[in-house]
Structure 1
Amino acid sequence: MEKREEDIVCSAKGSKLSVTFWEKTIASGVVIGFVLGLLAVYYTMPASDYSFLKLPRSLEDLQILRDHLESYTTDYTVQVLVGFCTVFIFMQTFMIPGTIFMSLLAGALFGVFKGVALVVFASTSGASSCYFLSKLIGKPLVFSLWPDKLSFFQAQVAKRKERLLNYMLFLRLTPTLPNTFINVASPIVDVPYHIFFLGTVIGLIPAAYLTVRAGIALGELRSIGDLYDFQAIATLFFIGAVSITPTLMTKSKT
């Protein structure tokens, strides 16, 4: 363990992660997309009092936001969609807490199927943006914030190179490691982007479904803790266990 941590320290101090032209293009495109998206929404919405627009930090804030946006969702669907995705992706990219409220809002405004599709799209896009941003500048930050988790994650990824997608699915399906940490640490421990992408887009679906469905009955929620009761967590762990079964079977044969 000490040797692995020493390797990470030396790597963080002495090297810079290589970034391809396309990765730089994607990162730049994301930033430009944020700006253009918000400007487009701002200039195409009718003149009104938008003081209610703020990032929700409680269920009460979320209910107020839902009540105001419901009327706009019908008449200005595209603007609401663009604004929602832009804010969600921005929050994911820069690790701003509160995306769970955005997932609830998606259910309240768009229903289950559209809401799940929207949340999975925005979550995957934001996670991808965070991945590339971390590849550019994230190594010192991750090591300073999560040195122990980074050492653990690096060791697990190294042991599971042949079945890495199964492991990434397990991480996304269960609360073993925080999603924020997975987003920023994956490029540092050499998780290929296509594995990261597939693990994210597939692995987030069950949790997104639970949260979006809860958003439909937003008024019945008393706290965020009501979203993940024992049954919900057990279900996610069961799906996660199924996802790593091929890896366990392969090890038992060798």
Structure 2
Amino acid sequence: MEKWMLGEEANRMTPPKDTGPTGGKTQARTGAARLKTWLPLTVLAALMVIGFALGLHKQLTLSNLIMERQELAGYVDRNLALAVLVYMSVYTLAVALSFPGASLLTIAGGFLFGWILGGFATVLGATIGACAVFLVARSSLGEVLTHRAGPFLARLAEGFRKDAFHYLLFLRLTPVFPFWLVNIAPAIFAMPFSSYTLATFIGIIPGTFAFTFIGSGLDSVIAAQEAANPGCAASGTCQIDVAALVTPQLLAAFFALGVASLIPVILKKFRNR
């Protein structure tokens, strides 16, 4: 009985755990880690909301491009290097904020700078924007979703990581899935950043140069529309269907390139069998 009472007295005298400075430091580190994890995604989401609220995505229209083409062309002639940097910045921001109309921006790049310079500027801007989304998604979503992934998603992620470069190259070459979704999915599957960057850079080259080539010939299309409907360029009423410029043959070529990118994966599976 005496021993039991002594034990109870000792328990009462023992100080509670994690109430001192060490516990406070642990909580501070946890809060800092959470802030570091979710702050990039919060900032990106806030910028997206602000951009859409201000209607910035509505400015990316073919009509605006046609109406302002003379002023834009004059600015490019006077300040080529600065104009290219501004264009790349706008393209990077549009991709990072997942604004619709990337194909239209690509056409504008070909129209303003020609298909070679416009193509390279677009590829660089799109790659930088896609990498920014990837890093934000990996820091904020990748670890959380990886820990909470079920068996199916875990097996899918493991299979993707084994040949991540070729799978992403296929997704970039075949314009089937939305560009923003392809930016995020590899981050969830913990794809290495270097492989993601290289696959993105190579994979968007064919489609980018195809659209900039279309843009480089836009002047002749506008001239034909002006001949049929004088004044339509100044008023922005020229009837130009961008979708009609993307032929089924062009889409078939993209799909063929995508299938070709999976050949190493197929050969590897046959060797393993």
Q: Same fold (TM over 0.5)?
A: yes
Are 2:115 and 1:112 aligned? Answer: yes
Tell me what 2:66 maps to: 63
Tell me what 1:223 maps to: 241
**Gaps spanning 5+ residues in structure 1: where?**
1-14, 32-52, 143-150
2:115 and 2:106 map into 1 onto residues whose CA distance is: 11
Residue 83 of structure 1 aligns with an amino acid whose one-letter code is V
Tell me what 2:167 maps to: 167
Are 2:191 and 1:187 aligned? Answer: no
Residue 78 of structure 1 aligns with an amino acid whose one-letter code is A
* 8 Å contact kept, 2:173–2:207: yes
Residue 214 of structure 2 aligns with an amino acid whose one-letter code is A
Are 2:176 and 1:176 aligned? Answer: yes
1:247 and 1:82 map into 2 onto residues whose CA distance is: 38
1:118 and 1:81 map into 2 onto residues whose CA distance is: 7
Are 2:92 and 1:74 aligned? Answer: no
Q: Which entry has the higher C-alpha Rg, 1 or 2?
A: 2
- How far 1:154 sits from its partner (Å)? 6.8
Query: In structure 1, the residue corresponding to 2:161 is in which secondary structure?
Result: coil
More helix by share: 2
Residue 229 of structure 1 aligns with an amino acid whose one-letter code is T
- How far 1:161 sits from its partner (Å)? 2.8
Percent of aligned pairs with the same amino acid: 24
Query: In structure 1, the residue corresponding to 2:176 is in which secondary structure?
Result: coil
1:174 and 1:16 map into 2 onto residues whose CA distance is: 37
Tell me what 1:127 maps to: 130
| Greater alpha carbon shift after TM alignment, 109-118 vs 79-88 | 79-88
2:153 and 2:252 map into 1 onto residues whose CA distance is: 23
Tell me what 2:252 maps to: 234
- What is the correspondence of 1:17-36 to structure 2 with a 5 Å cutoff? none
* 8 Å contact kept, 2:160–2:167: yes
Tell me what 2:201 maps to: 201
* 8 Å contact kept, 2:166–2:265: yes
* 8 Å contact kept, 1:103–1:119: yes
For residues 181-203 of structure 1, what are the alpha-carbon distances to aligned partners after superposition, in whole Å with 9 as ceiling and x for unaligned? 01123212211111110110000
- How far 1:66 sits from its partner (Å)? 2.5
TM-score (norm 2): 0.65
Task: Quickly say closer, same or farther: Cα 1:61–1:228, change in 2 above 3 A.
Answer: same
**Gaps spanning 5+ residues in structure 2: where?**
1-32, 45-55, 146-150, 222-238
- How far 1:153 sits from its partner (Å)? 8.1
| Structure 1 segments of 4+ aligned residues over 3 angstroms from their partners | 15-19, 53-57, 136-140, 151-157
For residues 73-102 of structure 1, what are the alpha-carbon distances to aligned partners after superposition, in whole Å with 9 as ceiling and x for unaligned? 011122212211111111111111122221
| Greater alpha carbon shift after TM alignment, 175-184 vs 104-113 | 175-184
For residues 221-252 of structure 1, what are the alpha-carbon distances to aligned partners after superposition, in whole Å with 9 as ceiling and x for unaligned? 82221242210110001011111001111112
Are 2:101 and 1:98 aligned? Answer: yes
Task: Quickly say closer, same or farther: Cα 1:232–1:191, change in 2 above 3 A.
Answer: same
- How far 1:108 sits from its partner (Å)? 0.6
For residues 43-96 of structure 1, what are the alpha-carbon distances to aligned partners after superposition, in whole Å with 9 as ceiling and x for unaligned? xxxxxxxxxx98643321221233221001011122212211111111111111
Give the count of matched residue pairs: 203
2:210 and 2:183 map into 1 onto residues whose CA distance is: 21
